[in-house]
Amino acid sequence: MRVFIRIFVLALLFFPVIAGIPAQQGKDTGAPPPWAYGFTSPTGAATSDPPPPPLFSPVRDDGTIRHLPGSNFSFTRTQIQNSFGPADWYPADHPQMPEIVAHGRQPDVRACSLCHYPNGKGRPENAGIAGLPYSYFVHTMNDFKNGARKSSDERKPNTYFMIGFAKAMSDEEIAAAARYFSSMKWTPWIKVIETSTVPKTYIGGGMFLRREGNETEPIGQRIIETPVNTEATEILRDSRSGFIAYVPMGSLKKGEDLVEKGGTGKTTRCGVCHGEDLKGLGPVPGIAGRSPSYLMRQLVDIQQGSRNGEWTSLMKPVVSKLTSDDLLAVAAYLASREP
Ligand code: HEC
Ligand code: HEC
């Protein structure tokens, strides 16, 4: 009974705060920003994007043997995209992969190296997973498994693939993958450029790809993260070819103020938990120099409650008062920090 009364009093005390949140949040954070999820139109829009090509459909392979500078290996397109043993162009760039990372386990678990690359650098539509702390890695895999990590944009297909793999994996397989990826350092992978105009792009496989020609368009309130070399990324899955992130003018300064100073009471300084250099602290993951599209998705997913694990409760107050534009600025600034 005493406990009940205490909860009741607490609820009364906080009621004004709680009641104030939906009105404020509804205005700013209604729909997840489509650009962070690999779409050009919002969820539920009348003119939705055409469905992305199925991720694992048989690729058009004319049998051409492909090469990459600096690699002694050569592969066909089918081999490059083999879900249970994709191309590893540069085996010397990483330790020996455990079986689950190199080949996955048929039929339910595709090779981690397919989407995240053998070196764990990943792509904007998935995640960079090299250099994450071991305990965070295991914890978040279990969040996927237990339904505590979903996507705020229900159209995003590969989040649901990721959930499926986590569900099918044993504790030993999760531990092997976590040991492997946490043993590597996170190194620079994304170049951030502040600009008011961006190359015209289209969405291919959940990511912004540059159109032929030199046409540009206003960036608006978006981050456009695109391969430095479209062919190297899209066709060859070159794990040494990184990304450019175009971010709106002024977003880096605004993001710096929020991240480093808490934006005068709007949020908590990130360094308190993520380490002063934002490269991670104990079990808390590093957030410097990582994909801004990925970071933005996580901040939005945490704010909207679609990412809702046990550890996520530490992040909720951090994002509760931030607008969509604030989150964009934070993601832009974090991506620009040296990892
Ligand atoms: C089909 C592509 C795909 C494959 C294969 C894949 N993942 Fe993922 N993974 C994703 C996507 C997409 C996300 C990000 C989900 C989001 O942003 O909503 C992700 C996110 C993650 C994260 C979270 C990163 C973070 O910073 O919290 C971890 C950890 C991870 N994957 C581990 C693995 C492991 C281990 C394997 C191999 C068993 C694997 N993934 C295979 C697509 C994939
Ligand atoms: C009180 C501690 C704390 C503070 C302050 C904090 N974080 Fe976090 N953050 C965490 C924890 C713990 C996690 C892991 C959450 C989970 O597992 O769901 C996390 C996760 C994240 C993630 C997801 C990382 C990934 O790989 O998926 C992002 C992005 C992030 N934080 C950004 C920020 C930013 C930006 C700030 C400052 C504005 C901040 N955090 C401040 C504790 C904190």
Q: What was the pLDDT predicted at 177?
A: 98
Q: Residues 210, 228, 336, CA angle at the centre, nearest 5°?
A: 110
Q: What was the pLDDT predicted at 51?
A: 52
**Cβ(315) – ligand 2 distance below 6 Å:** yes
Q: Which ligand is nearest to the CA of 286?
A: 2
In single-letter form, the type of residue at position 108 comes to: D
Q: What was the pLDDT predicted at 47?
A: 52
Identify whether the C-beta of residue 158 lies closer than 8 Å to the C-beta of residue 150.
Answer: no
Q: Which atom of ligand 2 approaches the CA of 132 most closely? A: 26
Spatial separation of the C-alpha atoms in residues 171 and 193, rounded to whole Å: 41
- Whole-number Å distance, alpha carbon 273 to ligand 2 midpoint, is 7
**Tens digit of each residue's pLDDT, the chain (339 residues):** 343 334 333 333 333 333 333 333 333 557 999 999 999 998 876 555 555 444 444 457 888 999 999 999 999 999 999 999 999 999 999 999 999 999 999 999 999 999 999 999 999 999 999 999 999 999 999 999 999 999 999 999 999 999 999 999 999 999 999 999 999 999 999 999 999 999 999 999 899 999 988 999 999 999 999 999 999 999 999 999 999 999 999 999 999 999 999 998 999 999 999 999 999 999 999 999 999 999 999 999 999 999 999 999 999 999 999 999 999 999 999 999 999
**Cβ(7) – ligand 2 distance below 6 Å:** no
Q: What is the CA radius of gyration of the chain?
A: 21
Identify whether the C-beta of residue 41 lies closer than 8 Å to the C-beta of residue 47.
Answer: yes
Q: What was the pLDDT predicted at 59?
A: 54
User: Buried (b) or exposed (e) across 188-226, using 16+ Cβ within 10 A?
Assistant: ebbebebeeebbebebbbbbbebeeeeeeeebeebbbbb
Tell me which residue has its CA closest to atom 29 in ligand 1. 137
The distance of Cα 238 from the centroid of its chain, to the nearest Å, equals: 19
Spatial separation of the C-alpha atoms in residues 82 and 85, rounded to whole Å: 5
Following CA atoms 31, 37, 39, 43 in sequence, which dihedral angle do they give, to the nearest 10 degrees?
A: -30
How far from 248 is each of 105, 171, 224, 333, CA to CA, in Å? 42, 42, 9, 11
Q: Which atom of ligand 1 approaches the CA of 169 most closely? A: 38
Q: List ligand 1's pocket residues with C-beta within 6 A.
A: 100, 109-110, 112, 114-116, 126-127, 129, 132, 137, 140-141, 151, 158-159, 161-162, 165, 177, 285, 294, 297
Which of 145, 314, 320, 334 to mutate to test ligand 2, by most ligand atoms within 8 A of the CB atom? 314
